[in-house]
Amino acid sequence: MPYVTVKMLEGRTDEQKKDLIEEVTDAVVRTTGASKEKVVVFVEDIDKRQYGVGGKRLVD
């Protein structure tokens, strides 16, 4: 049973997340041969206040 976690900054719509889950699932099925029913995709939104690059938070 493949598990895939996608971490991305908050701000995507529910429709975008739905499409992402479908596309990731299809890619896993195509490349691994796993059955679609066994693929699990987690989408984790990262709060921009909790994320930094180059020593600075993205919101600053």
Q: Is 2 a catalytic residue?
A: yes
Q: Which residue reads 């997340």 in tokens? A: 17
* Structural contact between residues 43 and 11, judged by C-beta atoms closer than 8 angstroms: no
* Structural contact between residues 38 and 3, judged by C-beta atoms closer than 8 angstroms: no
Q: Active-site residue numbers?
A: 2
